[in-house]
Amino acid sequence: MSDVARRRRSIRTRATAWVALIALVVGALGAAAFVVVLRHSLHDGVRSAAEQTLSTISSRVETEGAGVVTGQDDDLLVQLQTDSGSVVAHGDDAGGSTLSTDDGAIVVRDDERWLLVSDDVDAAGIDDAILVVGASLDDADDAVSTVIQLLVIVVPIVVVAMAILTWIVVGRALRPVERIRLDAEAIRGAGLHDRVVEPGTGDEVDRLARTLNGMLGRLDAAQSAQQRFVSDASHELRSPLATVRQHAELARLYPDETSLSELADVVLSEGTRQQELVDSLLLLSRLDEIAPSTRSAVDLDDVVLAEASRVRALGRVAVDSSQVAAVRVTGDERLLTMAVRNLVDNAARHAGSRVRVSTALAGDTVMLIVDDDGAGIPEADRERVFDRFVRLDEGRDRDSGGSGLGLAIVESVVRSHGGTVAVETADGGGARFVVRVPAA
């Protein structure tokens, strides 16, 4: 699209055109109404003067006779008629044809318009006499004509002035928007840390700039998270592949020192680890895109008790499940089981000797609490512990700390079910994970 076409479609141009059009329509209608009112007012004035003159002449005709009519000057049309329409007497300029006796009629004589008024009069020697008086409309018509000429000049000037004023005002109002547009256009994918200039005026444009900066901040954070995610995922996936390759090369170089069984164990172990990592990544990706599609009533206490029994059977730590109360939520049982398992396994991994799980109903919210008696989580790390591929210093070793996706899966599952998960300090100083999910 050409620059001219863009300019024609710009808000500034459209606003100016609309204001000019509205001003033209309003001005034309207002001018027409003013001319009509002015003409009517002037005609009423002429009519009042003619009626007053009619009353004066009628009085004189009744007292002095019809001769009064013949002495009227050229400023008036005066005729004295019989009821049959015959002219008995007339003024200097009212000779010729009989004037209309319709009150308020307008006639043209010698290219001049006259307003007629009439009334019955008692004239000596004339039965049913009618006196007709006409007043000239020339002055009124000249005044209306002059006003029309002025309005024809003034209305376009006002329209042009309104258009120019609108162009300037809209341009000044949109100048910060254009500045924001240029700033936003200059921001590229690699420069999402840049921001548009906020006018600081507190108006709609300022709020728009702040909203854009907020969006840029979120995009910047999402891009950084994506880059970290790709880097961490690549690193995590490369490790088992490197382990398999290393053992395969050793088996090839030293076949007598490496058995097929040992090589198979390594391949199966690293393959399982890699599969679990890929499955976790796919699950997180699906949870980011859509909410769980399977929804049903889930007895969360049964899920918690089953996971507690599983960890208790391993014999590494003691698991206290005496405070698990009957609670029910609505959601995907498979995902909820995975979240509970990740929480219990995480607690068992970092516990000194004891893990405690409990459930409770608080109003319309189900609470799941998992405590351990380990070293706990520093307050500064309690938010990022749910980020993907995050392992705190205590759990950096992959054999003990996992891939760093377990708690990220917990947070995604809980969030997809409309709940929240937070880290607190347990009574014994360890970590306490508190999950809150809407009750069924």
Look at strands 76-81 and 328-331 and give their pairing. unpaired
Q: Does 197 fall in a domain?
A: no
- The string of pLDDT tens digits covering residues 46-71 is 999 989 988 888 888 888 777 788 86
Q: Is 429 left (phi over 0), alpha (psi -120 to 50) or beta?
A: left
- Residues 309, 227 within the same domain: no
H/E stretch holding 144 reads helix 138-186
As a whole-number percent, the residues of the chain with pLDDT over 90 amount to: 32
For residues 412-431, average pLDDT: 90
In this prediction, residue 361 carries a pLDDT of 93
Of 152, 181, 215, the residue that ends a domain is 152
Domain of 54, CATH number, reads 3.30.450
In this prediction, residue 76 carries a pLDDT of 84
For residues 156-185, average pLDDT: 88
Pick from 33, 52, 58: nearest CA to 151: 33
Residue 334 pLDDT class (50, 70, 90 cuts): confident
For residues 172 and 321, the model is more confident at 321
Q: Does 192 fall in a domain?
A: no
- Residues 315, 428 within the same domain: yes
How many whole angstroms separate alpha carbon 281 and alpha carbon 233? 8
- Residues 82, 120 within the same domain: yes
Q: Does 176 fall in a domain?
A: no
- Residues 302, 428 within the same domain: yes
For residues 225 and 402, the model is more confident at 225
For residues 259-268, average pLDDT: 80
For residues 245-260, average pLDDT: 79
Pick from 224, 54, 212: nearest CA to 131: 54
> Do the Cβ atoms of 91 and 77 come closer than 8 Å?
yes
- Residues 278, 303 within the same domain: no
Q: Does 166 fall in a domain?
A: no
Q: Does 21 fall in a domain?
A: yes
Residue 229 pLDDT class (50, 70, 90 cuts): low
- Residues 108, 225 within the same domain: no
Sign of CA dihedral 156, 161, 163, 164: positive
- Per the structure, the count of domains in the chain is 3
- Residues 245, 112 within the same domain: no
In this prediction, residue 190 carries a pLDDT of 61
How many whole angstroms separate alpha carbon 77 and alpha carbon 118? 11
Of 286, 316, 339, the residue that ends a domain is 286
- Residues 144, 31 within the same domain: yes
Q: Which domain holds residue 232?
A: 204-286
For residues 172-200, average pLDDT: 79
- Residues 82, 107 within the same domain: yes
- The string of pLDDT tens digits covering residues 110-145 is 788 989 998 888 876 677 788 889 888 999 999 999
- Residues 259, 319 within the same domain: no
Pick from 427, 425, 423: nearest CA to 436: 423
> Do the Cβ atoms of 430 and 319 come closer than 8 Å?
no
In this prediction, residue 188 carries a pLDDT of 73
Domain of 217, CATH number, reads 1.10.287.130
- The string of pLDDT tens digits covering residues 274-322 is 776 677 667 766 666 555 666 789 999 999 999 999 999 988 899 999 9
Which span out of 18-22, 79-83, 225-229 was modeled with the highest average pLDDT? 18-22
Of 92, 117, 152, the residue that ends a domain is 152
Q: Does 4 fall in a domain?
A: no
- Residues 61, 143 within the same domain: yes
Q: Does 26 fall in a domain?
A: yes
Domain of 328, CATH number, reads 3.30.565.10
